[in-house]
Amino acid sequence: MAFSRVNCLLLNVVKNNIQIVQICRSFANIRFPPTTFNLISNLKKLPLKNTCTILHKELSTVKSSSIHDTISSIQVKKRVTRKKKILEEEEKPGIFNVVAFATAEEYDLEKLVKGLKEQNLYEPKEIKNNTDVVHAVAKYRVNEEPREIFFFREGSVILWNITDLESGNILNFLREYEEDSYSERLVQSESEIMNYKYQSADKTSSCISKEGDFLLSPGPDKTLEKFTFSNAIMLNVKLGVWEASLEKYIDEIEFVTEDLKRGKKIRMSREAVLRKHGELFALRHYMNLSSDVLDTPDFYWDNEDLENLYNQVCSYFCINKRTKVMNEKINHCVELIELLSSHLSDKHHVRLEWMIIVLIMVEVFFEIVHYIDRFVH
């Protein structure tokens, strides 16, 4: 169908003396070999009908050869980084920043509370019926809007109305209470910055706007609404870290698919394959069993408004869809690792069988030598 359109286009191209090489290159998006350029240079000397026939044949040859060249070097599609907001140095009146970081697999909240009290800069508080989060409020105010922090046991921290310099100090403070810390590059690259503001007095419920801003309902105490927003954005940054880890894992085993496709020897030992298997199951465990990405936390069962707000923010960050995609990718990686494990196990069994055969042959050889020795004497 594409070449029939090329023929129709060439009817106008030759009549209007437009360069055929440029039109075909932009239309078919292919690279011409030197022989094609020699052919095209003589096209204007031929009749129009012959021109279209020759070009059709040449384009078909070039197109098919380029397809076969491409198949041998298929590249895995990389994760597209979602555009994020940038922390603005000059804050607009009535608009504040909320920043989320995932710095480790888990925080020791009990020791963290003691550390906050010793530091005496933030007052730690508890969220009712939730022991997996610590809410800290700054004792010294800079402006009318309070500075608040939510520390989640899952290894994430959400900073409300905190400056960039102060957030760096908080991240340094957290290092002492982290378990299985992430790299600084990963923490910064997968962080999330959002804006929040208060709605007018006629609005009664908090929500998230189409632009991605948190809109808080007016009132004296917005702790639960902020906690709900924080809980959802915490899942977002945590899922981002897992996605980055999975992409790194895929890059590390990409050479295996190339070796299998080319029939080369597998350059992984049984121990390395076992470690890769363990990494996959650990990632799947963190995502599906140790977190709330697959289900709404029990905290929201008694408050329908907060549950709707939580689901709304999760929907904005596409938590369910991204989790499903990650599980699909993990399943494909598991299939590849199981294939490698099975192949290496078969090679190991074959090696053991050959060793047994060689030992039997050695034993037979010595028996023959003993028999000859007895026969001679």
Question: CATH number for the domain including 131?
Answer: 3.30.310
pLDDT of residue 302: 79
User: Are 184 and 140 within one domain?
Assistant: yes
101 and 234 belong to one structural domain: yes
| Burial annotation 73-82 (CB, 10 A radius, 16+ → b, else e) | eeeeeebeee
Residue 219, pLDDT score: 74
Which of 51, 69, 87 is the last residue in one of the domains? 69
- 191 and 323 in a common domain: no
The tokens describing 16, both together, are: 């209007």
Question: Does 365 map to a domain?
Answer: no
Q: Give the list of residues 6+ apart from residue 50 with CB closer than 8 angstroms, or none.
A: none
**Residue 370 counted as domain residue:** no
pLDDT for the residue numbered 39: 45
d(CA 155, CA 102): 6
Same domain? 204 vs 268: no
Q: How far apart are CA 224 and CA 203, in angstroms?
A: 17
Per the structure, the complete domain to which residue 28 belongs is given by 2-69
Torsion from C-alpha of 325, 195, 87, 317, nearest 10 degrees:
0
In a domain, 53, yes or no: yes
Residues 25 and 127 in one domain: no
The residues that bridge with 99 in the sheet, in sequence order, are 159, 193
Same domain, 233 and 131: yes
Instruction: State residue 85's pLDDT score.
Output: 54
Contact between residue 341 and residue 291 where contact means Cβ atoms under 8 Å apart: no
Query: In which residue are the tokens 């007095």 written?
Result: 201
Q: Flag whether 76 is in a domain.
A: no
Choosing from 240, 269, 300, the residue where a domain stops is 240
Residue 81 within any structural domain of the chain:
no
What is residue 86's predicted lDDT score, i.e. its pLDDT? 52
- Asked if 179 and 246 sit in the same domain, the reply is no
Residue 104 and residue 48 in one domain: no
Q: Could you tell me if 107 and 226 lie in one domain?
A: yes
**Domain co-membership, 317 together with 254:** yes
Cα-Cα end-to-end distance for the chain: 89
pLDDT recorded at residue 273: 80
105 located within any domain: yes
Helices (H), the chain: 2-15, 20-28, 34-41, 48-71, 109-119, 164-174, 184-189, 223-252, 254-262, 270-288, 304-316, 319-376
pLDDT of residue 125: 87
In this structure, is residue 75 part of a structural domain?
no
pLDDT at 293: 67
Domain-located, residue 83: no
pLDDT at 267: 77
**Is 189 in the same domain as 106?**
yes
- Residues 6+ positions from 364 with CB-CB distance below 8 Å: none
Q: Encode the chain (377 residues) as per-residue pLDDT tens digits.
A: 444 444 444 444 444 444 444 444 444 444 444 444 444 445 444 454 454 454 445 444 443 333 333 333 334 445 545 545 555 444 577 789 999 999 998 999 999 999 999 988 999 888 877 888 999 999 887 788 889 999 999 899 999 999 889 999 999 999 999 988 899 999 998 999 999 888 877 677 888 888 888 888 877 778 889 999 999 999 999 999 999 988 888 888 888 878 778 877 777 777 778 888 888 888 888 777 767 667 778 788 878 888 889 989 988 998 889 988 888 888 888 888 888 777 777 676 777 888 888 999 998 988 888 888 888 87
- Examine the domain organization and report whether 111 and 230 are in the same domain: yes
Last residue of a domain, one of 240, 260, 284: 240
What's the domain count of the chain?
3
Distances (CA, A) of 204 to 145, 200, 211, 215: 20, 9, 20, 11
Q: Is 253 helix (H, G, I), strand (E, B) or coil?
A: coil
Maximum separation of any 2 CA atoms in the chain, in Å: 116
Q: Which residues pair with residue 136 across a beta bridge?
A: 124, 149
